[in-house]
Amino acid sequence: MPVGANQVVLTGPVTRHSLWSLSESECAKDEEEGGLKKHLTPLERLTMNMCHDEKTIKEVLVGRRVGFYQVRGQIGYGSFSKVKLAFHALTKDKVAIKVLDKTRLDGQSQRMLSREISSMEALQHPNVVRLYEVVETPSRMYMVLEYAGGGDLHTRITTEGRLSDGVSKIVFAQILSAIKHMHENNVIHRDLKAENVLFTCDACIKVADLGFSTRVKHRSDILDTFCGSPPYAAPELFRDDNYVGPPVDIWAMGVLLYFMVTGTMPFRADTVSKLRRCILEGTYSIPTWMSAPCQRLIRGILRQEPADRFALDQMLGCEWLLPVEMCRPPAPLKLNPTYLIDADTNDLQEEEEEVKARMEELGITMEHINNNQGKGSRCAITGVYRILLHRAQRSRGVESLPVIEGVVKDPKRDSLRAYRGLRHTSKFCVIA
């Protein structure tokens, strides 16, 4: 008798006894009934291994396996977390797992973690790192994220030097598109910096680490928490007790653009106190060799008063980005698979049809989905679905890069081919 859909619990703490409701006696019964193991689906086979395979059980106990994920080495870290590379046992996709020690999280940190998950659940954009699944145990929280294997922007610039004007346009255009999507969904990042801008192996930009992010009801809502890195902090964060969220992200984008184009920071000082004074005074210099359109954009962003800064739409239409053909993000698809239960095949998008067929090949039935309704990202079925959906979208060119149109003065330096060469220069990935 194969493992039934009503026997598998695909959520909860990751232990041998509590991850699965399928008992060892039931597993043994499967093995005894005519050697049916070779006819099991991938999902049933994985479930059986969780009960009987000594290597798999040991991997769970020592933390080398989390839910459906086989954990490998560490690839990044944060103040309260480590980031590890992992592989999904069914789909074989690479993922990044952000591991948080719950025993070290105070009340404020727990609220920040909750906001981070909430923010990522609200976003679906080619230039924002995706959240696939959340796995929780009594002592650990695991956030399963999209893996960006091309390194981070800070490492790229500090090791290789400033970006060319053309490459800067392609990178900045993608960051701008990501932040615009966030703000349209009332998510404020509040920690935008070069360390949190990642490259995929195909040189697509991913804005990451929403640990300081927050969701607001209206973009004009007042916030009161100082967040982020001081060199990227807007003047009002030092000057006022309260601030509005979007202009803070916009200011950080101006600092980020300056860093990309020059290889240095606009505001530099030996101490935070001196840095604060530089930012409040607005004292920075722009190299004369920088193109005039880029200078105007930076000056339009790095204005002391939040209301005077360029809006995102102004930045999109500025002269410096005029030659960039922006990629239009596709319409978001449903991030939870429960709609598949009653969906008519004729109503499904092409990607959704592909994902549904692939899930069936893995042994995931509508009964599995039905039994896990209401669990959202805290469900292994949802993790499989989101990974497969993302793969289907990528195969259809959803993550295409912006293209610079018109005459380029230095094709060798500024071409898209040169930009794609970035993926060969950075080896480290930090998502925490």
For the question of residue 191 being annotated catalytic, the response is: yes
**pLDDT: is 139 or 303 the higher one?**
303
Q: What is the pLDDT of residues 193-230, one digit of tens each?
A: 999 999 999 889 999 999 999 999 998 899 998 888 99
Architecture of the domain delimited by 153-329+400-424: Orthogonal Bundle (1.10)
- Contacts of residue 260, defined as CB under 8 A and 6 or more positions apart, other chains included, come to 153, 157, 162, 163, 168, 171, 172, 194
The whole-angstrom separation of Cα 278 and Cα 384 is 48
For residue 365, give Cα distances in angstroms to 2, 190, 350, 380. Answer: 13, 40, 19, 13
Which pLDDT belongs to residue 373? 85
Q: How many CA atoms lie within 13 A of 425 on its CB side?
A: 20
- Phi, psi for 107 (deg, rounded to 5): -60, -40
Confidence of residue 121 (pLDDT cuts 50, 70, 90): very high
CATH code for residues 67-146: 3.30.200.20
Q: What is the pLDDT of residues 87-100, one digit of tens each?
A: 999 999 999 999 99
Q: Which amino acid is at 30?
A: D
Q: Where are the domains of the chain?
A: 5-61, 67-146, 153-329+400-424, 337-395
Task: Enumerate the β-bridge partners of residue 414.
Answer: none
Q: Which amino acid is at 203?
A: A
Task: Enumerate the β-bridge partners of residue 97.
Answer: 84, 144
Q: Which two tokens stand for residue 25?
A: 């006696």
Q: What is the pLDDT of residues 380-404, one digit of tens each?
A: 999 999 999 999 999 999 999 999 8
pLDDT at 426 over 70: no
pTM: 0.86
Q: Which residues are annotated as a binding site for ATP?
A: 98
Which pLDDT belongs to residue 171? 97
Q: Which two tokens stand for residue 8?
A: 């598998």
Which pLDDT belongs to residue 217? 92
- The catalytic position among 191, 209, 249, 414 is 191
Q: Which two tokens stand for residue 146?
A: 């999209």
